[in-house]
Structure 1
Amino acid sequence: MRSDLFSADQMAQHGKMTAASHRLAVEPAPDQLLDRLAENEAALTRVCNLLTAAVTAKRRITPAGEWLLDNFYLIEEQIRTAKRHLPKGYSLELPRLASKSSLGHPRVYDIAIEIIAHGDGRVDAESLSRFVTAYQSVNALKLGELWAIPIMLRLAIIENLRRVSSRIALEWFERDLADSWADRMTEVAEKDPKSLILVISDMARSNPPMVSPFVAELARRLQGRGPALALPLTWIDQRLTELGLTIERLVQSENQHQASDQVSISNCIGSLRVLGAMDWREFVETMSVVEQILLEDPSGAYGKMDFVTRDRYRHATERIAKKCGLTEQEVATRVVALARVGTVTESAAGADDRARHVGFYLIDKGLPKLAQVVG
């Protein structure tokens, strides 16, 4: 899931490209998000249980593993929040994608995945807003999709945490294998140095993985511990030479991987906190295409109303669009057009000034007239 990291400008450009690539499915698809969330929760729990057992056994874990353990309570809390805000069937009402890689996924979930992937788990208000704004310059999102962005970002972050934690677990087993051999060799070197060659032979026959976690951990445990314990490292060095590698290169690679994983985990944890602190009502209003259209209300009343009333009007637009088959922005545009006609009529004939207000057609006596216009 980790991809090239983008700046805010690059994120905006990627938003346009993502919108252009999206093709919506016509046929309904099963809701997969809750099942995937359950799988991710189980995987994260297994990894944290593994790391907890390692710490209890006084085995070393990586900084990324420590971050994961220290903040697992927050991850569990966010999973509970995701379940609460993602009731069964919720995502079925959202537009879904037809492409093979994202088949059946809600469009807004794919948007969240792209944002998380190109931010290495990091979300901030600026890059999020620029991505969504750029996306909507190509394809407008529905009101329900805008409200779904916070929960979809949580799901994408949990997905990313599962990806990194799975790698942490795999590499822990490789390091633990190195620790087991190092323990055995250290004990033999102290008690019966002549038998060390037999242990090295046993390790060679076991064909240990020549990967950076194993090699780096074995080198950390054995380097500088005397000439006897240099022998297994000499064998490792010979094996690596056959592969065109060196101990030093794999140690450097392992350090980079551990630092990268720590950044990914810390970004994800920080982003979960950011999501909880963001003003999503303001975000939705700022991003809503329908909101921008309704603000053209000829009476000027809409923009002076409180959030609850404006939200009521937006949801009325959403409901009408579902019934008549038009887009939400098409409905909003026709409502404003009717209000403008009402303004002209009132000026000419002294009609009810409510006809100048968009709400008259969305929730009041002008609703039948809007029904005639939208069909």
Structure 2
Amino acid sequence: MLTKFPRSKTAPARSWPRRSRARELPLRAELFGVEQLARHAQAIAAQHKLVAGRTSARLLTRLDQNEKVLRAFNRATLAVDQSRRVTPAAEWLLDNFYLIEDQIQLARRHLPEQYSRELPRLANGSPVGFLRVYDIVLELIAHVDAQIDADSLSAFVAAYQTVAPLKLGELWAVPIMLRLGLIENLARITTGLAQGRLDRNLA
């Protein structure tokens, strides 16, 4: 098993449009079995259109933002009055943050800015210019509720390539994109937890 983050019960959001983080929902879509995942991978491969040119370092900027969200939530959790109950999800995040931080540092180390600029990006989708390999990973995360193992990841990528082969650099980047996608999802879940905590404090 690659990783397991707390499950979310909210609806999907594949990308990050320019809006308040409080309105960004976790990556969550209809749960698919093995055959459904393969068909979905082939469907998005047929839909993807590439654009020429280099992309910006948007993912690394977003990673910095997500790290700040996670750190701020942990600081707030530590500051909670001991008479108040900490939710299991908040406790999980606090206990496992050192592992999350390791994944953040690995992503930074293995995705230098120049390398990310060379990866193929999409001409369609939201937002335009998204890295194709990152969009593939987000689709998988959404349709398995972030419960990913090596077999499901390999099968999804293999099914995609029956329609549209990926470049060698994209295949190499899949593990990094998976880290980035899971951290993105966790930051979105954390934002929801923070809003819930605020609502309880105001009640």
Query: How far has the Cα of 1:100 moved from its partner?
Result: 4.1
Q: Any conservation in 2 of the 1:102–1:110 contact (CA below 8 Å)?
A: no
Q: Any conservation in 2 of the 1:97–1:103 contact (CA below 8 Å)?
A: yes
Q: Which runs of 5 or more structure 2 residues have no equivalent in the other structure? A: 1-26
1:143 alignment partner AA: L
Residue 22 in 1 paired to residue 48 in 2?
yes
Q: Any conservation in 2 of the 1:12–1:127 contact (CA below 8 Å)?
A: no
Q: Any conservation in 1 of the 2:55–2:116 contact (CA below 8 Å)?
A: no
CA distance in 1, matches of 2:128, 2:114: 17
Instruction: From the superposition, tell whether residues 5 and 83 of structure 1 become closer, same or farther in structure 2 (CA, over 3 Å).
Output: same
**Residue 71 of structure 1 aligns to a residue in which SS?**
helix
Of 126, 139, 142, the residue aligned with 2:151 is 126
Aligned-pair identity in percent equals: 54
Show CA shifts across 1:51-100 (max 9, x none).
Answer: 1111x543212111111111111111110111111112211111111114
CA distance in 2, matches of 1:100, 1:74: 32
User: Higher helix share goes to which structure?
Assistant: 1
Of 143, 165, 172, the residue aligned with 1:147 is 172
Residue 76 in 1 paired to residue 101 in 2?
yes
Q: What is aligned with 1:53? A: 79
RMSD between superposed Cα atoms in Å: 1.3
Query: How far has the Cα of 1:107 moved from its partner?
Result: 0.7
2:180 alignment partner AA: L
CA distance in 2, matches of 1:59, 1:177: 14
Show CA shifts across 1:173-225 (max 9, x none).
Answer: 112223xxxxxxxxxxxxxxxxxxxxxxxxxxxxxxxxxxxxxxxxxxxxxxx
2:193 alignment partner AA: I
Q: What is aligned with 2:183? A: 158
Q: Any conservation in 1 of the 2:54–2:118 contact (CA below 8 Å)?
A: no
Query: How far has the Cα of 1:8 moved from its partner?
Result: 1.7
- Tell me the TM-score normalized by structure 2: 0.83
- Tell me the TM-score normalized by structure 1: 0.46
CA distance in 2, matches of 1:125, 1:43: 28
Show CA shifts across 1:110-166 (max 9, x none).
Answer: 111111111111111221122111100100011111110000000000000001000
Equivalent runs, 1:214-253 vs 2, <5 Å: none
CA distance in 1, matches of 2:91, 2:128: 35
Instruction: From the superposition, tell whether residues 58 and 86 of structure 1 become closer, same or farther in structure 2 (CA, over 3 Å).
Output: farther
Runs of 4+ in structure 1 over 3 Å off: none
CA distance in 2, matches of 1:130, 1:3: 19
1:66 alignment partner AA: E
CA distance in 2, matches of 1:173, 1:154: 28
